[in-house]
């Protein structure tokens, strides 16, 4: 080992991994231990994704937290802490202009992260998985699921959007895979991302939709206009980052917003506010009428 590793308290405990605070060679760090599937392969994948991104996102406004050490055979990686403060908290506490700026910065981060491995294709409902969405609304899909007229209607609506989007431009990239505000820190105009082990080839709109839906789920839609069930001002702020083009945002992004609303309507973890998801899904189906 290149240095001395000291393990402190556990920060988070999931079925797939454990994250703990610690120190590596006397410097603060986080230790991520993979405990499901093939931990060695997951540690290797995480190290590869982070090292690749750090090669072009080590400096400047858009960064990734680097790997300090990897114990592949033991299935864990040691990460430098991301500088700054949680983006999730910053967005929730900011005024309207500050909130829009932070969401726009997150979009710019995603654009920078995806840039080296990004191509534009033509949307195909079958190719990009949209047609599996109606099956998610049927009882028995992958175990115990919630079932309701709202869920079935949402599945049908999203499938219809996918048919209508046939041939639209869709950006495919090696993208974050868990692009949500809690996986970023913000400090004086700098955005630093972490939890990159989920990086995989996806429509960029899939990750954008996840970011926006997660905010709506956590905070609710509040007062004011919505677009596809989420706050219109949040969608506008993300669009201003130009992470995807206007046609893609208008025709493809709603499919993946519906996809994430549907997934979260069906399978909700403990502590998540289901009422916020139901409200967003209802607005989505009603054309954003209150």
Give the tokens for residue 225. Answer: 């206009």
In a domain, 290, yes or no: no
Pairing of strands 190-193, 62-64: parallel
pLDDT band per the 50, 70, 90 thresholds, residue 140: low
Q: Are residues 73 and 36 in the same domain?
A: yes
In a domain, 145, yes or no: yes
Q: Are residues 98 and 17 in the same domain?
A: no
d(CA 52, CA 113) in angstroms, rounded, equals 10
The pLDDT value given to residue 146 = 59
Is the separation of the CB atoms in 244 and 196 below 8 Å? no
Residue range 102-126: average pLDDT? 95
Q: Are residues 222 and 108 in the same domain?
A: yes
Q: Are residues 151 and 47 in the same domain?
A: no
Pairing of strands 190-193, 200-203: unpaired
In a domain, 226, yes or no: yes
193-212: pLDDT as tens digits: 998 888 889 999 999 999 99
Q: Are residues 63 and 130 in the same domain?
A: no
pLDDT, averaged across the chain: 89
The pLDDT value given to residue 183 = 94
Domain containing 32: what range?
5-79
The pLDDT value given to residue 148 = 76
Domain boundary among 38, 56, 79: 79
d(CA 282, CA 290) in angstroms, rounded, equals 9
The pLDDT value given to residue 155 = 86
Q: Are residues 36 and 169 in the same domain?
A: no
Residue range 46-65: average pLDDT? 95
In a domain, 215, yes or no: yes
In a domain, 213, yes or no: yes
pLDDT band per the 50, 70, 90 thresholds, residue 239: very high
Q: Tell me, what CATH number does 72's domain have?
A: 3.30.200.20
Percent of the chain with pLDDT over 70: 90
Q: Are residues 257 and 117 in the same domain?
A: yes
Q: Are residues 55 and 101 in the same domain?
A: no
Q: Are residues 35 and 150 in the same domain?
A: no
Q: Are residues 104 and 199 in the same domain?
A: yes
Q: Tell me, what CATH number does 188's domain have?
A: 3.90.1200
In a domain, 187, yes or no: yes
Q: Are residues 102 and 220 in the same domain?
A: yes
Domain boundary among 79, 106, 125: 79
In a domain, 194, yes or no: yes
Q: Are residues 70 and 171 in the same domain?
A: no
d(CA 277, CA 273) in angstroms, rounded, equals 7
Among 61-75, 156-170, 264-278, the minimum mean pLDDT is found in 264-278
Q: Which residues contact 187 (CB under 8 A, 6 or more apart)?
A: 83, 84, 85
Q: With a cut of 50, say whether residue 274 has pLDDT above it.
A: yes
Domain boundary among 32, 62, 79: 79
Give the tokens for residue 123. Answer: 């949307």
Q: How many domains does the chain have?
A: 2
Q: Which of 159, 164, 169 is nearest to 244 (CA)?
A: 169
What is the number of other CB atoms lying within 10 angstroms of the CB of residue 67?
Answer: 21
d(CA 228, CA 247) in angstroms, rounded, equals 15
The pLDDT value given to residue 144 = 44
The pLDDT value given to residue 272 = 62
The pLDDT value given to residue 143 = 43
In a domain, 150, yes or no: yes
Alpha helices in 71-203 (DSSP H): 87-93, 96-114, 133-136, 149-164
């Amino acid at each position: 080992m290149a240095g001395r590793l000291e393990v402190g308290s556990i920060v988070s405990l999931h079925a797939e991994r454990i994250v703990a605070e610690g120190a590596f060679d006397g410097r603060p760090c986080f230790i991520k231990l993979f405990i499901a599937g093939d931990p060695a392969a997951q540690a290797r994948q995480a190290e590869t994704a982070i090292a690749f991104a750090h090669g072009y996102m080590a400096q400047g406004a858009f960064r990734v937290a680097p790997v300090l050490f990897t114990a592949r055979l033991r299935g864990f990686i040691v990460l430098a802490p991301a500088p700054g403060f949680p983006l999730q908290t910053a967005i929730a506490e900011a005024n309207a202009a500050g909130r829009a700026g932070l969401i726009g910065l997150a979009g710019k981060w995603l654009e920078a992260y995806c840039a080296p491995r990004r191509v534009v294709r033509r949307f195909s409902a079958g190719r990009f998985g949209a047609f599996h969405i109606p099956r998610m609304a049927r009882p028995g899909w992958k175990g115990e699921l919630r079932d309701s007229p709202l869920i079935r209607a949402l599945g049908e609506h999203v499938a219809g959007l996918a048919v209508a989007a046939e041939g639209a431009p869709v950006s495919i990239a090696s993208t974050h895979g868990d692009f949500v505000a809690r996986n970023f820190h913000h400090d004086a105009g700098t955005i630093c991302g972490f939890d990159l082990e989920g990086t995989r080839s996806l429509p960029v709109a899939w990750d954008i939709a996840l970011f926006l839906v997660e905010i709506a789920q956590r905070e609710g839609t509040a007062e004011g206009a919505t677009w596809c069930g989420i706050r219109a001002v949040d969608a506008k702020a993300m669009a201003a980052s130009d992470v995807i083009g206007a046609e893609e945002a208008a025709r493809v992004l709603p499919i993946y917003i519906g996809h994430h609303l549907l997934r979260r309507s069906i399978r909700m973890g403990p502590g998540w506010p289901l009422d916020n998801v139901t409200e967003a899904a209802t607005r989505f189906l009603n054309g954003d009428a209150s």
